[in-house]
Amino acid sequence: MELEFNQRFDYYNMLQYVNNEPSVMHCHHYTTLFIDLAQKTREMDGPRLLQESMEESFYLVLKKYYISKNISDRKEQIEIATEYFAAVGLGKLNITRIHSDGGSAELTHSHVDIGWLKKFGKSEVPLDFITMGYLSAVFELVFNHKLQGYNVTQTESIAKGDRISRFEIVRI
């Protein structure tokens, strides 16, 4: 199955759409600034809030796509999810292990991590809350679980100087 990815721009309302869903594509400058803000508001759960908002957003977009294209096969859902991740410019995602209890994934290229390196230099901690939210959404959809059903942790990070970024996904 190949991802259908139709972009259009509504000049009257100045809105971009991907597959008829409102969409905002940000350069690494903007993306890293809201990640930096999340980091600076740790005492108010900034990273968790950013991760959960990404999870909710991607959950809805992917669920609508799966329903509208009648995609229920897990393998096809994973394939579409990794293609969509790349198509929106987030990077090269590979889900390396998947099971209803959790799994693992890696990024060999990451818009977030590379953007962070360009703007701020090396990070002391993993910070790809966008991908963590995305992976939660993917696992919830593939295994028909409700939102916030998985905990995702970034264990390696290109922004920290690691060769790739790695994530562990665990059912809550």
Structural contact between residues 145 and 98, judged by C-beta atoms closer than 8 angstroms = no
Confidence at residue 34, expressed as pLDDT on a 0 to 100 scale: 84
Tens-place pLDDT, residues 25-42: 666 667 888 889 898 998
Higher-pLDDT residue of 95 and 22 is: 95
Nearest of 143, 158, 161, 160 to residue 169 by alpha carbon: 143
Q: State the Cα–Cα distance between residues 124 and 104, nearest whole angstrom.
A: 22
Q: State the Cα–Cα distance between residues 60 and 63, nearest whole angstrom.
A: 5
pLDDT band at 20 (very low <50, low <70, confident <90, very high): low
Confidence at residue 87, expressed as pLDDT on a 0 to 100 scale: 86
Q: CA 168 from chain center: how many Å?
A: 14
Confidence at residue 89, expressed as pLDDT on a 0 to 100 scale: 84
**What pTM was estimated for this model as a whole?**
0.89
Confidence at residue 28, expressed as pLDDT on a 0 to 100 scale: 67
